[in-house]
Amino acid sequence: MCLHVAAYRLQEDPPAGISGAPTEDNILVWHALIFGPQDTPFEDGTFKVVLEFSEEYPNKPPNVRFLSKMFHPNGIIYADGSVCLDILQNRWSPTYDAAAILTSIQSLLDEPNPNSPANSLAAQLYQENRREYDKRVQNIVEQSWVHFSESQPSGARKPPEAEEEEEANRQSTSRPEDDADQNSIMNNVNRVVLVLSGKGGVGKSTIATQLALRLSQDKRVGILDADLCGPSVPKLLGLQGKQVHQSSGGWVPVYTDSSKRLAVMSIGFLLSNEDDAVIWRGPKKNAMIKDFVNSVAWESLDYLIVDAPPGTSDEHISIVEVFSNLRSSGAVLVTTPQAVSMDDVRREITFCSKANIPVIGLIENMSGYVCPHCSECTNIFSSGSGEQLCSYAGIPFLGRLPIDPKLSEAMELGQSYCLLNPDSEVALLLSHISEKLDLMQNHETSNT
């Protein structure tokens, strides 16, 4: 009973930077995530921990060990990942629950005690070469984002040659076990739709979220916010302040309502402060995107909408790689009528061609302004350039969307504009895209 109560408390009111839950088949074994404390060398790290309780809990403490690789001089973390805290030994109290244990470990990550080292190399570097110590810690922080096998039994120690091989595997950008995990988790996803733009500020995320809301009226849909440096999906869906939780099956996405027809995953849910900037190098972004695919427990989805970053970058290559073996309906491109935006979306079309991504069509957004009083639409920029580009590139033109203050109001409230304004141009266009996706899926099904 104590563990069931602890699980409920941890998932309903998790401490900042802590997430965890019992495994599906054993209440005594918990998997948890500890986010590295801010303003420490461990910041941005996501460290996986396992807690193994006994039948004597709460009178006896659990065994705790890191599944993630750890580099720390304290006597709390040993080479095999096992944790030795005083609260888990002579200072144990039956009042300590999983949240208290995980919070204690998190707080101790930045309190090295090199005079009582479990890792002599870490202690020496911390005292004599802080720059190298920070470099080693940064390395394990980056590795913490890479998916790895959790099948090693508790307390097992590996021979040096096996540890070297495992280290090489962690450094690898593509591993067979990643593919296996990806296939098992993403088997729940029927189709993937990418929403792309050549540049930022053209309304890509607005289109992605409103398309997801429209599809979720009669489908089960997920939306993956892959724009790591500009995660706006939580705000556009009214989900600010929500947190993802760790379960035995992976990260549990955030749902927009109790129907669970729209599941959402974004790095915005992992930031302790919505004003925090994500300042990462390419490899770290790539690892995060792969972890989103490999470690999110999506339930059965008809469509997964991926809100990609603007332009073409390392993240786009990672997105193509991780979804290469999955059924993809293609990409929806978003642009505005300005010449500079058209130039950028041309490069996006070339990217889709080289990456073998079918283009569902192009939307010309912000094409005119709808007066809130008389509903007359006035062109602000040049008109017709989107349709001309589609004719030249040989891709479908999906339509034009004007600047509509009502759409902005709906987005601020996290509401579906299509439900509020079913006869609007936005609603008709998104319904057209939804019908086109269904036709594509039915055509593929009839040919298999």
Q: Pull the structure tokens for residue 347.
A: 């490069």
Cα-based distances in Å from 321 to 102, 227, 327, 372, 439: 34, 16, 13, 44, 26
- Give the C-alpha separation, 192 to 327, whole Å: 7
Of 84, 229, 374, 418, which is the active-site residue? 84
418 classed as catalytic: no
- Give the C-alpha separation, 79 to 92, whole Å: 23
Report DSSP letters for 281-316, one per residue. -HHHHHHHHHHHHHHB---SEEEEEEEPPSSS-HHH
Q: By CB neighbour count within 10 A (0-12 exposed, 13-18 middle, 19+ buried), where does 93 fall?
A: exposed
Pairing of strands 262-266, 254-255: antiparallel
Cα-based distances in Å from 22 to 51, 63, 72, 431: 9, 14, 27, 41
- What 3-state DSSP class applies to 122? helix
- Give the C-alpha separation, 75 to 290, whole Å: 33
Contacts of 381 (CB under 8 A, 6+ apart): 336, 337, 338, 366, 367
- Give the C-alpha separation, 38 to 272, whole Å: 9
Helix (H) or strand (E) holding 183: helix 176-186
**What does DSSP assign to residue 127?**
H
- Give the C-alpha separation, 85 to 157, whole Å: 20
Of 272, 262, 215, which is closest to residue 34 (Cα–Cα)?
A: 272
- Give the C-alpha separation, 13 to 175, whole Å: 36
Contacts of 294 (CB under 8 A, 6+ apart): 147, 178, 181, 182, 185, 250, 322
Q: Pull the structure tokens for residue 312.
A: 């073409």
Of 233, 226, 195, 240, which is closest to residue 296 (Cα–Cα)?
A: 226
Cα-based distances in Å from 357 to 172, 204, 396, 432, 442: 25, 18, 14, 20, 19
Residue with token string 């209440």: 27
Q: Pull the structure tokens for residue 297.
A: 């427990």
Q: Would you please indicate which residues are annotated as catalytic (active-site) residues?
A: 84
